[in-house]
Amino acid sequence: MLVDSHCHLDKLDYEQLHTGIDDVLAKAKARGIDYCLSVGVTLDSFPTMMEMIEPHDNVFASCGVHPLDIEAGFDYDKLKEYAQHERVVAIGETGLDYHYQPELAEQQKEIFRQHVRLAVELNKPLIIHTRLAREDTLQILREEGAEKCGGVLHCFTESLEMAQAAIELGFYISISGIVTFNKASELKNVVNQLPLERLLVETDSPYLAPIPYRGKQNQPAYVREVAEYIGLLKGVSVEEVERVTTDNFFTLFSRAKRS
């Protein structure tokens, strides 16, 4: 059993690659992926995403505004309303991205703080996106008491020191298909040094398909390649990676229930 702990099911190709979400989930099930967390990135798209996943008890949801989507609109009251939906098990995707939009750093930081405050209030874990913003990300998490709700640094590509600092705050580190890339030597080293008990696996579908699918659109079924590669790196069986990362998922996202 595996969990794709971070995917964007509403962004997959349903015209040429998949006939619908049932098809996506069937392909994942055929490879032993029994659960998915569909992650929201804008408030406008959240209702459509929820309508899509509603019939599927094995798909959970998060609600948030991605730091690269803040110009699409941010409404705290609407975020809070959506975040209290019973299927929403986490707050995010939120965080900081200074790679693509450093000019919006101050606005990103304020909106990030509001996400963290809401997560603490609702006691729902955070899903964090961080890129070229290590110090500010950790500072805001500490200042806003994020250790009270916990969370995950998703699609992790940062330093070992940042991962360890996040773990000290009670966070998990989620590994995507990037770990399979030939040039991802730093990330491979990070994965080697972190305990499996603090790792999650994800696809970030439809982005970042792992080898041997690199260049194609990603999908939840491909999280198996991520798990297998982590097993090779750490010298453990894929079954061990499956067991531990699945337990980690349901420990962190405690409102997500195994069926």
pLDDT of residue 172: 98
| pLDDT tens string 30-41 | 999 999 999 999
Largest distance between two CA atoms of the chain = 47
pLDDT mean across residues, the chain: 97
pLDDT of residue 254: 97
CA 185, CA 201: separation in Å to the nearest integer? Answer: 18
CATH of the domain at 75: 3.20.20.140
CB 119 within 8 A of CB 150: no
Strand 126-131 and strand 199-201: the pairing is unpaired
Does residue 258 lie in a domain region?
no
Does residue 259 lie in a domain region?
no
The confidence band for 73, taking pLDDT boundaries of 50, 70 and 90, is confident
| pLDDT tens string 50-64 | 999 999 999 999 999
Does residue 257 lie in a domain region?
no
**93 assigned ligand-binding residue:** yes
Query: In this model, does residue 151 exceed pLDDT 90?
Result: yes
Segment 102-129 shows an average pLDDT of 97
User: Domain containing 92: what range?
Assistant: 2-252
The confidence band for 25, taking pLDDT boundaries of 50, 70 and 90, is very high
| pLDDT tens string 174-189 | 999 999 999 999 999 9
CB 152 within 8 A of CB 113: no
CA 215, CA 84: separation in Å to the nearest integer? Answer: 37
**129 assigned ligand-binding residue:** yes
**99 assigned ligand-binding residue:** no
Report the number of distinct structural domains present in the chain.
Answer: 1
| pLDDT tens string 164-177 | 999 999 999 999 99
**85 assigned ligand-binding residue:** no
Segment 147-163 shows an average pLDDT of 97
pLDDT of residue 210: 98
| pLDDT tens string 120-147 | 999 999 999 999 999 999 999 999 999 9
Does residue 94 lie in a domain region?
yes
The confidence band for 67, taking pLDDT boundaries of 50, 70 and 90, is very high
**204 assigned ligand-binding residue:** yes
CA angle 244, 248, 253 (to 5 degrees): 155
Beta strands (DSSP E) in 105-161 are: 126-131, 151-153
Which of 116, 128, 117, 54 lies closest to 85, judged by CA?
Answer: 54
Query: In this model, does residue 72 exceed pLDDT 90?
Result: no
pLDDT of residue 259: 80
**240 assigned ligand-binding residue:** no
pLDDT of residue 119: 98
Q: What is residue 75's DSSP assignment?
A: -
